[in-house]
């Protein structure tokens, strides 16, 4: 197993890829239909977050701020800024839900969110997400838990056909959709929580972004507890299973660290077959499995001789490393944003919590980088090639429709990576040839 | 030495009631920076301070706070530099404080972070930015910076712009204040000329500065320092010896130039290098402010030459733009500066947004656009109707308005495109012309709203 370093051991982050807990909360609320995420803090955090997701998804993003100032910071325990915000939001739009999430500022001054929330009439879910703790994954998970704790009604019966799907934060909108449809193909009804597949999937709509345009509805959230099973994908969202079971202990919980690659998808299929009491999967699933098998053979030669640096959120690292390992890719180094229980299970030579300065120092260890847009500049500095994955990606368009999961996405992923590795080797050969030519000309 | 002992925190109140802030005049609500809970957009003071200072690529920018303050935002500012060393504009530094730092103190971590940055990246200076949490917990960044400067002999400049003090504009003023207090006047230049100027507020976004700097140099006008596009710490330290401060499209920095006038007797003028007319006017204004008859004459000749050169290159575009009308929906000084560039291209600007504009911006917009133009006060709800009424062919706005253009089936250009491409100076106008031509000729805006086969 991998050598794991769980602490950065530095007094700072240099070229960080870590993102904050409130950012994860915002994104989770954006997967709820007609929601207005309301970040409780000074105006900048919401602005940075909005700009980041707008650029990543190429979509307008609904997000408001309580705009705490130095004056309100001293005098107000959150009552004024939150109630004022809700009033002002209500003047313009009529959200089905307001998602209040805190920041370091309002946590440090100790605002009593629960107390404030209890006095408010508007439909509201609150969550404490100080940004000096955790990161994108924990902000997402805490928010999903808050949605369930505060909205879902307890229930005693279960509907065996109904499945609640909880994806981890790094799954892009199309991946959530593919996974939902995959499970549905086995005869289930699936509610994804949150569901970015209908809100941030690059569809043309009335793009005023006054509210999130799509996602799981409040009514669906209220009625989650009659599900037969809850499926969590990604170690970070595993605790959500227990959260839902508190509403109905009869719900079964099935957890997967990821649903990537052949083995990862096989495990999901095995469970779906068992739970649906089917002997064979739908024909299209079988077909895609064969295509993935073929893709694995087609890509193994290229990927098998390549050493990788992965830079991502922990759950995303686990998923990508598993796919690459299946075809012999050597994950020399995986750099996580934050610590996570899954780090010890990642199939890599070395797993560290760190930043891109670490990546730069260890440049001799890898050939290809897979990570967010910051790794593009890193690749230039260290003379390697980068493939964009994860948040944020400002370099490319179409991130929301990039599918790496299940048999189908697994095949696309391997093609992408193998092609990048081949192009890298091509250009190395080209440069070597040029050098030889020049030497010949000089002699 | 006494100055060092008192806090360098600027007096926020003073900066807020800065007389140069137009928004304050006749406003009942108080300072323009008071944000409304639940109805506020735009970045915080820290964001503004970063925008103002990040272009110093030879200085490290260390944010003392959690990842919200830096996470998605570093390496996003396209301000190129000719600095031969490592480009620190594109290098993110943050102390990434944790619960421990909040409960006890983040000062020791900050000091170690400064050591790390100076040891590994050898910057000419370190800007240390406080943020909401570290300002609230009371970390003494002045002291940590002072000790850091002493320990390393590299200036460490505290920037007190936590987001809760206000919006971007205030942050950029605070940044100016910090540079004025800690850097300007700390070094004497080796030589000076009668035509030394500082460019204040020019960030060299997308290389804008490089579109006109060579013309100034050709005239013998020397850019002694910039605040801060393609800037150097060593030059800004000598900025007090310039003969003229030129503010480039940045009202928020008037307080800085006013103080430099008081302290060092440097006069200032305000300029814009957007479009041909504004570029010519600005170059001439600089020459006139420097007050040398020969320089002024040479400047007029250079302007004539450049305009003629540009006019010739614009000939192929004239036919494309003839009779075309545009609606402009963007904020602040862009409401007239972009309008001026469009007019240079022969496009009629029939409406512009004056939402959030100052009285001066409104007056300018009126002056540039003429009596018949529509000044939109709530463009989001007005622009569709305005397009219908005026028969406009082109909408220039932020991405959010794209849908309006599609519904109206007219061409759309994202004004924020200028964050990626430079439209400034004479040559930038050609780039703008090309982009607008491509928009006008692109079928996508008509096609994308085509009825689906199953729609009646
Ligand atoms: S508002 Fe405060 S905490 Fe938020 S980004 Fe700005 S400085 Fe950081």
The contacts of residue B233 (CB under 8 Å, 6+ apart) are B56, B58, B59, B124, B125, B155, B183
Query: Is some CB atom of chain B closer than 8 A to the CB atom of A78?
Result: no
Are residues A81 and A166 both part of a single domain? no
Distance in angstroms (rounded) separating the CA atoms of residues A222 and A199:
19
CA gap A369, A372 in Å, rounded: 9
**Distance from the alpha carbon of residue B172 to the mean position of ligand 1, in angstroms:** 14
Are residues B293 and B319 both part of a single domain? no
Residue A232: inside a domain: yes
Query: Ligand 1 center to residue A42 CA distance, Å?
Result: 6
Instruction: For residues B163 and B240, state if they share a domain.
Output: no
> What is the span of the domain harbouring residue A378?
285-428
Tell me whether residue B191 is in a domain. no
Residue A398 inside a domain? The answer is yes
For residue A2, the model assigns a pLDDT of: 75
Residue A332 predicted with pLDDT over 70: yes
Mark whether A295 and A226 lie in a shared domain.
no
* Exposed/middle/buried for residue B390 (C-beta within 10 Å: 0-12, 13-18, 19+): middle
Examine residue A324 and state whether it is found in any structural domain, yes or no: yes
Task: Identify which of B65, B166, B169 to mutate to test ligand 1's pocket (most ligand atoms within 8 A of the CB).
Answer: B65
Determine the distance separating the centroid of ligand 1 and the alpha carbon of B47, expressed in angstroms: 8
Instruction: Classify the C-alpha dihedral A144-A148-A150-A151 as positive or negative.
Output: positive
**Span B139-194, pLDDT tens digits:** 999 999 999 999 999 999 999 999 999 999 999 999 999 999 999 999 999 999 99
Q: How confident is the model at residue A209 (pLDDT cuts 50, 70, 90)?
A: low
B279 and B333 assigned to the same domain: no
A43/B163 CB distance under 8 A: yes
Q: Which strands sit side by side in the sheet containing A35-40, from one edge to the other?
A: A64-65, A35-40, A97-102, A124-127
**Residue B16: predicted pLDDT:** 58
Residue nearest (by alpha carbon) to ligand 1 atom 8: B69
Residue B189 counted as domain residue = no
Closest CA of chain B from A47, distance in Å: 5
Number of domains within chain A: 3
Q: What number does the ligand 1 atom closest to the CA of B130 have? A: 7
Which one of A41, A47, A373 has the shortest CB-CB distance to B132?
Answer: A41
On whether residue B454 sits in a domain, the answer given is no
Residue B159 in 3-state DSSP? strand
Burial class (CB in 10 A: 0-12, 13-18, 19+), B87: middle
- Does residue A203 fall inside a structural domain? yes
Per-residue model confidence (pLDDT) at position B13: 59
- B94-124 core/surface letters (b: 16 or more CB in 10 A; e: else): bbbbeeebbeeebbebbbebbebbbeebebb
For B243, the domain range is: 196-305
Compute, in angstroms, the gap from residue A192 CA to the centroid of ligand 1: 32
Residues A292 and A272 in one domain: no
Question: How does pLDDT run across A235-290, given as a tens digit for each residue?
Answer: 999 999 999 999 999 999 999 999 999 999 999 999 999 999 999 999 999 999 99
In a domain? residue B257: yes
Alpha helix (H) ranges present in B322-353? 334-344
| Number of structural domains chain B divides into | 3
For testing the chain B interface, which of A101, A104, A122 should be mutated: the one with the most B CBs within 10 Å? A104
Regarding whether B232 and B100 lie in a shared domain, the answer is no
Measured in angstroms, how far is the CA atom of residue B163 from the centroid of ligand 1? Answer: 4
User: Do B60 and B153 lie in a common domain?
Assistant: yes
State whether A103 and A177 are in the same domain: no
Contact A344, A2 (CB under 8 A): yes
A90-135: pLDDT as tens digits: 998 999 999 999 999 999 989 999 999 999 999 999 999 999 999 9
Residue A402 lies in a domain: yes
Q: Mark which of B147, B182, B217 sits at the end of a domain.
A: B182
Query: Does ligand 1 have an atom closer than 6 angstroms to the CB of A41?
Result: yes
Q: Which residue has the higher pLDDT, B338 or A358?
A: A358
Q: Which atom of ligand 1 has the smallest separation from the CA of A47?
A: 5
Whether residue A289 is contained in a domain is answered as: yes
* Cβ separation A70–B402 shorter than 8 A: no
Contacts of A363 (CB under 8 A, 6+ apart): A382, A383, A384
| Chain A CA closest to residue B448 | A204
Chain A residue at shortest CA distance from B131: A105
> Which of B37, B66, B72 is the closest to A84 by Cβ?
B37
* Same domain for B323 and B300: no
Is A367 within a domain? yes
State whether A336 and A394 are in the same domain: yes
Q: What is the CATH number of the domain that holds B81?
A: 3.40.50.1980
Same domain flag for A45 and A77: yes
Whether residues A275 and A247 fall in one domain: yes
**CB–CB contact B136 A108 (8 Å):** yes
How far is C-alpha A22 from the geometric centre of its chain's CA atoms? 14
Interface TM-score (ipTM) > 0.85: yes
Q: Are residues B231 and B328 both part of a single domain?
A: no
Q: Can you give the CATH number for the domain in which A115 is found?
A: 3.40.50.1980
Residues A292 and A417 in one domain: yes
Residue A46 Cβ < 6 Å to ligand 1: no
Q: Is the domain of A241 the same as that of A322?
A: no
Pocket perturbation via mutation, ligand 1, pick of B48, B61, B63, B68 by most ligand atoms within 8 A of CB: B68
Are B231 and B351 within one domain? no
Instruction: Using CB atoms, pick whichever of B38, B44, B74 lies closest to residue A85.
Output: B38
Q: Per residue in A294-329, pLDDT tens?
A: 999 999 999 999 999 999 999 999 999 999 999 999
Q: Are residues B235 and B349 in the same domain?
A: no
Q: A26-50, pLDDT tens digit by residue?
A: 999 999 999 999 999 999 999 999 9
Same domain, A192 and A228: yes
- Tens-binned pLDDT, residue by residue, of chain B (456 aa): 333 334 466 666 566 555 444 444 433 344 455 799 999 989 999 999 999 999 999 999 999 999 999 977 899 888 999 999 999 999 999 999 999 999 999 999 999 999 999 999 999 999 999 999 999 999 999 999 999 999 999 999 999 999 999 999 999 999 999 999 999 999 999 999 999 999 999 999 999 999 999 999 999 999 999 999 999 999 999 999 999 999 997 788 999 999 999 999 999 999 999 899 999 999 999 999 999 999 999 999 999 999 999 999 999 999 999 999 999 998 777 788 889 999 999 999 999 998 878 888 888 889 999 999 999 999 988 999 999 999 999 999 988 788 889 889 999 998 876 678 888 999 999 999 999 999 999 999 989 988 899 987
Q: Are residues B7 and B154 in the same domain?
A: yes
Ligand 1, atom 3, residue with closest C-alpha? B132
Same structural domain for residues B53 and B168?
yes
Q: Does A362 reach chain B within 8 Å, measured CB to CB?
A: no
Which residue, of B262, B282, B305, is where some domain finishes? B305
B127 part of a folded domain = yes
The answer to whether the CB atoms of B72 and A51 lie below 8 A apart is yes
Among the three residues A281, A300, A325, which one is the final residue of a domain in this structure? A281
Interface contact flag, B162 A392, Cβ < 8 Å: no
Residue B296 in domain:
yes
By Cβ distance, the residue of B46, B90, B93 closest to A44 is B46
Q: What is the pLDDT of residue B95?
A: 97
Where among B278, B305, B332 does a domain terminate?
B305
Per-residue pLDDT at B361: 83
Cα angle A417-A420-A423, degrees, rounded to a multiple of 5: 150
Dihedral class, residue A398 (left if φ above 0, else alpha if ψ from -120 to 50, else beta)? left
Rounded Cα distance between A322 and B399, Å, is 38
Q: How far is the CA of A415 from the centre of ligand 1 (A)?
A: 41
Residue A139 lies in a domain: yes
In chain A, residues with a C-beta closer than 8 Å to the C-beta of B92 are 13-16
Tell me which of A116, A135, A151 is where a domain ends. A151
Both B163 and B267 in one domain: the answer is: no
Using alpha carbons, select from B97, B138, B64, B164 the residue that is nearest to residue A132: B97
Q: Which of A121, A151, A181 is the last residue of a domain?
A: A151
Are residues A386 and A353 both part of a single domain? Answer: yes
**Res. A379: pLDDT tops 50:** yes
Instruction: Give residue B356's region: left, alpha or beta (phi > 0; psi -120 to 50).
Output: left
Of B40, B98, B136, the CB nearest to A65: B40
In a domain, B453, yes or no: no
Same-domain pairing of A21 and A147: yes
Distance B271 CA to ligand 1 centre (A): 31
Look up the CATH number of the domain holding residue B444.
Answer: 3.40.50.12380
Size of interface A-B (CB pairs under 8 A): 211
């Amino acid at each position: 197993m991998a050598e794991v370093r769980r602490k950065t051991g530095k007094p700072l982050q240099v070229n960080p890829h870590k993102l904050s807990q409130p950012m994860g909360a915002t994104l989770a609320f954006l997967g709820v239909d007609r929601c207005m995420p309301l970040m409780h803090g000074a105006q900048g955090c919401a602005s940075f977050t909005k700009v980041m997701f707008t650029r990543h998804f190429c979509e307008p993003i609904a997000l408001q701020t309580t705009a705490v100032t130095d004056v309100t910071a001293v005098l107000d325990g959150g009552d004024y800024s939150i109630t004022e915000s809700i009033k002002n939001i209500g003047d313009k739009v009529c959200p089905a839900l307001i998602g209040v999430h805190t920041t370091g500022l309002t946590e440090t001054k100790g605002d009593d969110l629960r107390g404030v929330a209890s006095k408010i009439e508007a439909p509201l879910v609150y969550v404490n997400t100080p940004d000096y703790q955790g990161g994108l994954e924990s902000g997402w998970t805490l928010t999903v838990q808050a949605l369930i704790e505060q909205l879902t009604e307890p229930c005693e019966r279960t509907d065996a056909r109904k499945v609640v799907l909880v994806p981890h934060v790094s799954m892009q909108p199309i991946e959530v959709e593919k996974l939902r449809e995959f499970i549905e193909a086995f005869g289930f009804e699936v509610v994804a929580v949150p569901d970015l597949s209908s809100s941030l999937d690059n569809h043309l709509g009335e793009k005023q972004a006054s509210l999130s345009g799509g996602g799981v509805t409040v009514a669906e959230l209220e009625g989650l507890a009659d599900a037969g099973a809850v499926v969590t994908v990604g170690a970070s969202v595993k605790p959500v299973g227990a959260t839902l079971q508190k509403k109905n202990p009869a719900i079964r919980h099935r957890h997967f660290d990821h649903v990537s690659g052949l083995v990862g998808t096989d495990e999901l299929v095995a469970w779906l077959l068992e739970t649906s009491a089917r002997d064979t999967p739908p024909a299209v699933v079988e077909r895609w499995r064969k295509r993935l098998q073929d893709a694995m053979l087609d890509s193994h030669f290229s990927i098998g001789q390549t050493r990788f640096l992965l830079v991502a959120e922990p759950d995303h690292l686990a998923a990508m490393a598993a796919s690459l390992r299946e075809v012999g890719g050597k994950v020399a180094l995986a750099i996580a944003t934050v610590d996570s229980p899954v780090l010890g299970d990642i199939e890599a030579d070395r797993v560290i919590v760190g930043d891109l300065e670490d990546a730069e120092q260890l440049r001799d260890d890898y050939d290809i980088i897979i990570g967010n847009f910051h790794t593009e500049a890193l690749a230039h500095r260290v003379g390697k090639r980068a493939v964009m994955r994860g948040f944020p990606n400002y370099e490319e368009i179409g991130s929301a429709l990039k599918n790496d999961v299940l048999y189908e996405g697994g095949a696309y992923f391997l093609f992408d990576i193998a092609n990048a590795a081949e192009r890298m080797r091509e250009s190395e050969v080209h440069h070597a040839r040029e050098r030889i030519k020049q030497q010949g000309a000089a002699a | 030495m006494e100055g060092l002992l008192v806090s360098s925190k600027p007096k926020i109140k003073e900066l807020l009631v800065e007389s140069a802030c137009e928004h304050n005049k006749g406003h009942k609500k108080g300072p323009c920076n008071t944000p409304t809970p639940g109805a506020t957009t735009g970045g915080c003071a820290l964001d503004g301070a970063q925008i103002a200072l990040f272009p110093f690529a030879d200085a490290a920018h260390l944010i003392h706070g959690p990842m919200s303050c830096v996470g998605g935002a570093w390496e996003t500012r396209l301000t190129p530099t000719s600095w031969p060393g490592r480009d620190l504009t594109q290098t993110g530094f943050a102390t990434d404080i944790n619960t421990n730092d909040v409960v006890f103190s983040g000062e020791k971590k900050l000091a170690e972070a400064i050591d790390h940055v100076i040891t590994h990246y050898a910057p000419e200076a370190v800007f240390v930015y406080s943020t909401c949490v570290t300002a609230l917990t009371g970390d003494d960044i002045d002291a940590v910076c002072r000790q850091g400067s002493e320990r390393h002999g590299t200036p460490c400049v505290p920037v007190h712009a936590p987001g809760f003090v206000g919006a971007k504009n205030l942050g950029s003023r605070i940044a100016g204040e910090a540079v004025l207090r800690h850097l300007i006047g700390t070094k004497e230049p080796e030589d000076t000329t009668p035509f030394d100027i500082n460019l204040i507020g020019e960030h060299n976004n997308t290389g804008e500065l490089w579109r006109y700097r060579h013309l100034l140099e050709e005239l013998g006008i020397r850019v002694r320092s910039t605040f801060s596009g393609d800037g150097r710490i060593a030059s800004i330290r000598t900025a007090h010896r310039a003969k003229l401060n030129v503010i480039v499209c940045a009202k928020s920095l008037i307080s800085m130039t006013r103080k430099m006038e008081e302290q060092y007797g440097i006069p200032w003028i305000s300029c814009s290098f957007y479009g041909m007319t504004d570029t010519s006017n600005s170059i001439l204004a600089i020459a006139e402010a420097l007050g040398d008859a020969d320089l002024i004459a040479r400047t007029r000749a250079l302007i004539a030459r450049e305009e003629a050169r540009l006019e010739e290159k614009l000939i192929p575009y004239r036919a494309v733009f003839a009779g075309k009308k545009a609606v402009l929906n963007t904020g602040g000084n862009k409401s007239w500066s972009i309008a001026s560039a469009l007019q240079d291209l022969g496009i009629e600007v029939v409406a512009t947004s004056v939402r959030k504009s100052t009285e001066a911006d409104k007056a300018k917009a009126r002056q540039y656009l003429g009596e018949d133009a529509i000044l939109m006060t709530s463009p989001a709800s007005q622009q569709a109707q305005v397009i219908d009424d005026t028969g406009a062919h082109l909408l220039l706005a932020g991405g959010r308005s794209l849908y309006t253009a599609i519904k109206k089936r007219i061409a759309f250009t994202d004004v924020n495109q200028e964050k990626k491409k430079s439209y400034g100076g004479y040559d930038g106008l050609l780039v703008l012309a090309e982009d607008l031509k491509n928009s006008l000729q692109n079928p996508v805006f008509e096609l994308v709203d085509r009825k689906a086969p199953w729609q009646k």
